[in-house]
Structure 1
Amino acid sequence: MLGLDAERLRSDMNRLLAFLFHQGVLDEQFLQLQQLQDETSPNFVYEVVNIYFHESEKLLRNLRGLLSDREFLDHKKMGIHLNQFMGSSSSIGAKRVRNVCVVFRAASEQTNRAGCLRALELLEHEYWYLKNKLHEFLQIEQQRVMAAGVRYPIQD
């Protein structure tokens, strides 16, 4: 019974990943991240993704703060934050988030405040969508590991 539950959960994980790849939310870098997880670091993906979430939310706050000042836009600082966001998004395979960062950076380089505001709104939307889907994925993975790992002693 436990093996069947673990297989069902693995199937659920694969379906969710296929959906996220089909939507362009994730790319192959996420699969490479998963390949780095093994018995010596069973929570590797969880830990990396949670660091990404923590840092991304700081970057989003910083970007919003830079755009809140109507008189002064520090495009250099905005570019630094966007480069950090693009790099970390690329490293976990967050394709759509990374792509919005590219558009955002272009608007910033053109000193297009309205374009930056639209890009920030889209970036926040894509980020929260990614976070919710990866949270769902990680919950299923945790359930699968628990279902596969529970062993009861055989009674003679």
Structure 2
Amino acid sequence: MLVLGAERLRIDMNRLLALLFHQGVLDEQFLQLQQLQDDSSPNFVSEVVNIYFHESEKLLTNLRALLLNREFSDYKKMGIHLNQFMGSSSSIGAKRIRNVCVAFRAASEQNNRAGCLRALEMLEHEYCYLKNKLHELFQIEQQRLLAAGVRYPMQN
């Protein structure tokens, strides 16, 4: 019975991943990240993604602080934050976030504050969506591992 539950959870995980790929939220880099996970590091993907979330929150805070400053004019500094965000997003396969960063960087290169503000809103939206969906994925994965790992002693 537990094996059936674990199989059901595996199917749910695959459906959620398929949805995220279909929506363009993730790309093949996420699959490559998953391939690095094994029995010696069973939480590898969630640990890498949690580091990404932690760093991304700092970058989003920095970007928002730069843009909300009335005397803001340091578009070069913004570009540095965006390059970091774009690189880390690429490394985990966060395709839509990377794409928003590209548009955001284009607006910053044109010193387009209004465009940057719109891009920041889009970036925050995409980031929240990704974070919620990956947390959901990791919760299902933990439930699957628990269901698959529960063993009852054989009775004679």
Q: Deviations over 1:75-109 (max 9, x none)?
A: 11111100010011001100000000000000000
Superposition pairs of residues 87-126 of structure 1, within 5 angstroms: 87-126=87-126
* Deviation, structure 1 residue 153: 1.1
Identity %: 85
TM-score (norm 2): 0.98
Provide the residue aligned with 2:128 in structure 1.
128
* Deviation, structure 1 residue 155: 1.6
Provide the residue aligned with 1:151 in structure 2.
151
Provide the residue aligned with 1:46 in structure 2.
46
* Deviation, structure 1 residue 70: 2.1
* Deviation, structure 1 residue 111: 0.1
Provide the residue aligned with 1:63 in structure 2.
63
* Deviation, structure 1 residue 142: 0.5
Task: Report SS of the residue matched to 1:155.
Answer: coil
Provide the residue aligned with 1:137 in structure 2.
137
TM-score (norm 1): 0.98
**Runs of 4 or more above 3 Å deviation:** none
Instruction: Tell me, in whole angstroms, the C-alpha distance in 1 between the residues paired with 2:40 and 2:118.
Output: 43
The amino acid of 2:121's aligned partner reads E
Provide the residue aligned with 1:22 in structure 2.
22
Gaps of 5+ in 2: none
Matched length: 156
Instruction: Tell me, in whole angstroms, the C-alpha distance in 2 between the residues paired with 1:101 and 1:73.
Output: 19
Instruction: Tell me, in whole angstroms, the C-alpha distance in 1 between the residues paired with 2:73 and 2:154.
Output: 68
